[in-house]
Amino acid sequence: MSETYKLSFNLTPGIGKFTYKEDWGYLSDKENFTEPYLTYGVLTDFNASSNTRLDDVLMFSFEIDPTYSPVGNITLVVLFNAENFIHVIDWLHEKNLTVTVNGINYDLGIFNPEDNYAKKSFSISDNSRKAMDAVLYYGDVAEKLGELIQKNVGKPLKFELCWK
């Protein structure tokens, strides 16, 4: 039987406006992930099952970036101890993700760095032994979840993420 990895949080989406793109959701400046003036949205009540070994979410957004891709994507950036790198990458990159919001399931599938312009990224924060990894999800379901996020800017939503 395959292990399940769960993560939940409350998200009040904001809007990130940049020269070349717009994002809807949440972007943090924790661990110097971005400049404080670029942050948007509010993420609270972070809760992850212990087997995930995640410490936080640095970004959860619907992103439309025409310089990178002709379609929108859901971007998730997570923070964890660098010593857990192999464990986190194994399940984060290899398991099927379903996001549940307001009782509606959005099956985003499995992250594929070669598919639909997605590229994986990994870095270790300069000021600690923390690591970050980004996964992007594309497709019709990601677009539908993105529309929900866009329509609810400024309104709190409960997100439950489950990888199987």
What are phi and psi for residue 59, nearest 5 degrees? -155, 135
DSSP one-letter string for 91-160: HHHHSEEEEEETTEEEEEEE--TTSTT---EEEE-TTSSEEEEEEEEESHHHHHHHHHHHHTTTS-EEEE
Spatial CA neighbour of 114 closest among 98, 138, 90 = 138
Q: Tell me, what's the pLDDT at 126?
A: 54
The model's confidence at residue 50, banded by pLDDT at 50, 70 and 90, is very high
| Inter-CA distances, 116 with 76, 98, 112, Å | 16, 19, 8
Report pLDDT digits (tens) over 55-97.
999 999 999 877 777 788 999 999 998 888 889 988 998 999 9
Q: Tell me, what's the pLDDT at 114?
A: 56
The CB density around residue 150, as the number of other CB atoms within 10 Å, is 16
Two tokens at 54?
Answer: 């995640």
Calpha distance 115→138 (Å, rounded): 9
Q: Tell me, what's the pLDDT at 33?
A: 74
Two tokens at 49?
Answer: 């099952």
- Top-confidence residue, 129 or 54: 54
Task: Note if the pTM is more than 0.85.
Answer: yes
